[in-house]
Amino acid sequence: MFSGASPRSYGLAGSIDLEGRVVNEQDVARVLASCDMPDYGDGREVLHAQPVNFALDHRTGLSDPRGQMGQELATDMHMLTVDAIAIQNLAHCVKRCDLELAGIASSSYVSALSALVEDEQELGAACVDLGGGTTGVSIFMKKHMIYADAVRMGGDHVTSDISMGLQVPTAMAERIKTFYGGVYATGMDDREMIELESDTGDWEHDRRRVSRAELIGIMRPRVEEVLEEVRSLLDAAGFEYLPSQKIVLTGGGSQIPGLDGLASKILGQQVRLGRPLRVHGLPQAATGPGFASAVGMCLLPPAHRMNGGTLTFRLNAILCAASNAPCAGSRRTGDAKRAKFRRCGVSISA
């Protein structure tokens, strides 16, 4: 899966004349192909393109129009593009590891697939995936992703602030962050001291101690900055107009103690910490929020499937063939992953 690379969301619309016939699979393919493609620019690739709604005459909100009659079939699609160079680099790395790339998906999308409960996906929710270099945001409504974007900051920026603030190497900053990190300081944190050991030979520098409150003082502004950027991104997407505005935090960075409290202050009341759902029998180590995207990747094909056909998959294939991009939602990815999981004794419920 894939995060960052300046994602951009587009809403596409298309319609075809049915002349009163029953909608069949070809009609669905035709209406999807009838969507007018925006000019998404050179150096960009389509990562996802999914129908989010079908309408037959004046009946809208259909998830699968096949088998129904009408005069005009219309559809709304959500398309996500990213920087092509980022995809090419990733594909190159995978190839150099002698692995075969079966598909690419946006990590904020797959995190939401695994971490949002049905109601949240249906009524409106955002998944905020706090990764290392980026913080991905995806918005779901009526079981579909309708918007995705990313903030170009994540947990690694918090680590580098600690590294600079305390004058310690990155590896130690990372360790201090995961062991003692937080965003709310209490009186007790003034007295809890963290040993900073190093071996520069300078005794004064090598035997230093900082209070946990001081560490929190370094971490909090950056976390606030990330969350405020997420807020403005959600505002720009019109998140407040959804019937429900749940926010689910995933990704390794969401494990900072107290983050949910700070997030609800900045993003609104309905914030919860997410973790991967829907896959049973995961090893303990893979049940945390940092694994939401990895688990979501395994869920990708079933979640795309529409009663016996994979409309999204085929559409993606059409669009990707046009743009030479590897396709998301490839059936092979899913089947291979599912088979692998089955071998490990893990079952996936669609």
Ligand X SMILES: Nc1ncnc2c1ncn2[C@@H]1O[C@H](COP(=O)(O)OP(=O)(O)OP(=O)(O)O)[C@@H](O)[C@H]1O
Contact set with ligand X (CB under 6 A) = 3, 107, 131-134, 154-156, 159, 174, 177-178, 181, 251-253, 255-256, 290
Q: Per-residue contact track with Mg ion, 285 to 304, x per CB under 5 A?
A: --------x-----------
Place of tokens 């606030």: 224
Neighbouring C-beta atoms of residue 79, cutoff 10 Å: 21
Q: Which of 53, 81, 107, 310 binds Mg ion (CB under 5 A)?
A: 107
Q: Which of 3, 106, 121, 254 binds Mg ion (CB under 5 A)?
A: 3
**Beta carbon nearer to ligand X, 178 or 244:** 178
Task: Quote the DSSP letter at residue 69.
Answer: B
Instruction: Please report, to the nearest 10 degrees, the dihedral formed by the alpha carbons of residues 309, 302, 240, 65 taken in order.
Output: 20
**Beta carbon nearer to ligand X, 70 or 289:** 289
Partner interacting with residue 133 (select from ligand X, Mg ion, none; CB below 5-8 Å by kind): ligand X
Partner interacting with residue 301 (select from ligand X, Mg ion, none; CB below 5-8 Å by kind): none
Distance CA 182, CA 201 (A): 30
Q: Considering the complex, what minimum distance in angstroms separates the CB of residue 173 from ligand X?
A: 9
Instruction: Please report, to the nearest 10 degrees, the dihedral formed by the alpha carbons of residues 197, 201, 205, 208 taken in order.
Output: 30
> Contact between 131 and Mg ion (CB under 5 A)?
yes
Partner interacting with residue 159 (select from Mg ion, ligand X, none; CB below 5-8 Å by kind): ligand X
Q: Considering the complex, what minimum distance in angstroms separates the CB of residue 3 from Mg ion?
A: 5
- Pick the piece of the chain touching Mg ion (CB under 5 A) from 52-60, 104-112, 224-232, 325-333: 104-112
> Contact between 245 and Mg ion (CB under 5 A)?
no
**Beta carbon nearer to ligand X, 51 or 326:** 326
**Beta carbon nearer to ligand X, 132 or 268:** 132
Burial class (CB in 10 A: 0-12, 13-18, 19+), 50: buried
Cα→Cα distances 347→121, 198, 278, 279, 334, Å = 22, 46, 9, 6, 13
Distance CA 145, CA 346 (A): 26
**Beta carbon nearer to Mg ion, 121 or 254:** 254
Partner interacting with residue 132 (select from Mg ion, ligand X, none; CB below 5-8 Å by kind): ligand X
- Nearest CA to 5 among 104, 139, 125, 128? 104
Nearest position to Mg ion, beta carbon: 131
- Nearest CA to 320 among 57, 37, 110, 111? 37
> Residue 137 belongs to what H/E stretch?
strand 135-141
- Nearest CA to 32 among 57, 10, 11, 15? 15
Q: Considering the complex, what minimum distance in angstroms separates the CB of residue 3 from ligand X?
A: 4
Amino acid in the structure at residue 230: V
Q: Considering the complex, what minimum distance in angstroms separates the CB of residue 287 from Mg ion?
A: 16
Neighbouring C-beta atoms of residue 328, cutoff 10 Å: 29
The tokens of 194 are what?
Answer: 């963290």
Q: Which residues bind Mg ion (CB under 5 A)?
A: 3, 107, 131, 293
